[in-house]
Structure 1
């Protein structure tokens, strides 16, 4: 009697590779349906996503995550130049034969996602932005504690709690522990962490820039595009304060802003099912 095959989850789905433009991009995918390409945060690798969020999202959609060029399991030249991050997502879509797709991203990845939408609007079905910033000058910068924790050579659970959750909330601290353990459940076929010297070198390459330089009409694009765009943020965001969206959103035609109370920079890790349900409804109904 045949044994049933193992159900694919974010913890066990294999890393796959595509060769494109002289480099190898590492990616993973789950689920079926409308394809969603998710771009990573600062210092993020394939294993930085909470499996519970990816599994919940993959229950209704085809979810694709990847390592940027030269980072994690991908080869090539590592860079945090925003347009290069966006190009990685587009090249991956090309390699997978995806003419149209939902583009999403967390934090730095949300900037990359906005660039993809601006440069390739005909290919983007919808845009998902989690814990990220709008283009151009903003009213509120990141809090100093973000840089203190984010630039440590190795981040532990306490750092993760400060960076991605709301440490003053008992509920949020408990969610941080639960998310940490879910991510740690994958023990094989994992992407290596980004060495701190590589991180600092990439930062030096972009140090003269604003967080999201509006050098190609990105802000005006957000104001005028008809591409439905969902922004998810915590109201205790220490990296990209949600208040920076308040001036822009009323000037747009298609940006939907959702702020979760008493959550920080990683609401999809604190409330993975809720965020996945919100995204699925957004994709299906708008």
Structure 2
């Protein structure tokens, strides 16, 4: 008999659950404590670096998904924060997960914080990568981010600028390696989000603050006992890590890790280090 195929992020099949009138697409690798990961702005299932997911799945059950109406999921697309968070909760319900770790990258980190605020009894720990604390912050995204992030189609050079540190040769090389790992999956790939859909969703969420503190999110972050790991690069152009320097000392459970000479996607530049850090935090934090 042939040995069963070992599933990795590159070859695991996309699965679907029907919940509340829409179909959520997800992928599920590894065993152990479940981790649900929420996507970045314009992200789809195939925006995650397989090396990061596989390293994390060596010790945990790792679940990624497409938000409603995006990628391979059906329903009404929206970047309203509560709706993104609800996608994660509904997926957990459909998979029978009473308690789990929630994580997110960039916009997904905001969704993870909202989900935790709304359902703290279900969240074991939080993993926040390249994201922002709630409410007003001192430092905003650099204009270069918007110039690149809102192009109709992003190429490798855009990825280098958006997620890495283009002034570092080491970071540029890491960007190419990560791009190639993501491109290794050639079947069952989620379609990119059309720019028209992106702009429509942005118009629904325009506000002075990128993470509007309309439900006591910052106060919750300051007082919660749920352990929170924040991972950021010191060359972050979207959500400058200095904003976490302002908030973290006022909290009880935020652990802040800053990677030198890295940008918005440290888990893609140093996938194994980030996965090892997260694993250690889950086991010991």
**Structure 1 alignment gaps of length 5 or more:** none
Equivalent residue, structure 1, for 2:283? 284
CA distance, structure 2, for counterparts of residue 132 and residue 112 of structure 1? 10
Equivalent residue of 1:28, what SS?
strand
Q: How does 1:130-209 map to 2 (within 5 A)?
A: 130-209=129-208
Which residue does the alignment assign to 1:245? 244
Partner SS, residue 146 of structure 1: helix
CA distance in structure 1 between the aligned counterparts of 2:238 and 2:95, rounded to whole angstroms: 32
Q: Distance in 2 between matches of 1:157 and 1:49?
A: 15
SS at match of 2:256: strand
Matched, 1:37 2:36: yes
Q: Following TM superposition, by how much is the alpha carbon of 1:208 offset from its aligned partner in structure 2, in angstroms?
A: 2.9
User: Residues of 2 paired with 1:184 and 1:20: CA distance?
Assistant: 30
Partner in structure 1 of residue 225 of structure 2:
226
Deviation at 1:209, TM superposition (A): 4.9
Per the normalisation by structure 2, the TM-score is 0.99
TM-score by length of 1: 0.99
What's the secondary structure of 2:246's corresponding residue? Answer: coil
Instruction: Describe the superposition over 1:249-270 as per-residue Cα deviations: whole angstroms up to 9, x where unpaired.
Output: 0010000000000000000000
The residue number in structure 1 matching 2:98 is 99
Unaligned runs of 5+ in 2: none
> Which secondary structure state, in structure 2, belongs to the residue aligned with residue 253 of structure 1?
coil
- Aligned partners of 1:209, 1:69: CA distance in 2, in Å? 25
Q: Secondary structure at the match of 1:246?
A: helix
Q: Give structure 1 regions of 4+ aligned residues with deviation exceeding 3 angstroms.
A: none
RMSD, matched Cα = 0.5
Q: Alignment length, in residue pairs?
A: 285
Which whole-Å deviations, capped at 9, do the CAs of 1:70-110 have from their partners, x for residues lacking one? 00000000000000000000000000000000000000000
